[in-house]
Amino acid sequence: MAQQTMRGIRLGAHSLESEIGVTYSPRNKHRYQCINSHISELVFAQDAELPKTWQCKTCSEQATLLTEGKLIKLDLDELKTPRSHWEMLLERRSKDELEEILKERISYIRARRKAGKADV
Ligand SMILES: [Zn+2]
C-alpha cells in the first residue's frame, strides 16, 4: 500500500475550499451612526434580526442603526447612559428612608465631634 504523504502547506495562507458552486445567502448592508457622527457599515444576512446598536468602528462609542437615513428610536434601557450613584441609590431606597439615614448619620457625626473625635 502506497504511503500517502501530505505536502507541506502554510496553514492559513490558502483556503483549500473553492468558492465554485457556493451561493451566498442574501445579505444587506446597514449603517450605524454614533454620537460623533461616524458611520459604520455592516453586512448582515437578510433574514438576520438587526441589532439596534453596534460599537462604532471609529471611536468605540455606541452607534445606532440608521433606517432610511434616520436613527432608529431606542428604548430607555437600550441607551448607554450609565446610571449615576444617586439613581442607583434611589432604586434601593425611598427618599424618606434616605432622610432617616441622613439624620442618623448627622447625629452620629455630631456626637463624635462633641466627644473630640471629629471626622474630617
Ligand atoms: Zn464614532
| Ligand 1: centre distance to CA 55 (Å) | 8
| Ligand 1: centre distance to CA 80 (Å) | 14
The C-alpha cell at 83 is 446610571
The pTM of the full predicted model, rounded to 2 decimals, is: 0.48
| Ligand 1: centre distance to CA 41 (Å) | 12
Q: How many CB atoms lie within 10 A of CB 56?
A: 20
Counting runs of H as helices and runs of E as strands, what totals does the chain give?
Answer: 2, 5
| Ligand 1: centre distance to CA 73 (Å) | 18
| Ligand 1: centre distance to CA 58 (Å) | 5
The C-alpha cell at 102 is 441622613
List pLDDT tens digits, range 61-106: 999 999 988 888 887 777 666 677 888 888 889 999 999 999 999 9
Q: Amino acid letter at 114?
A: K
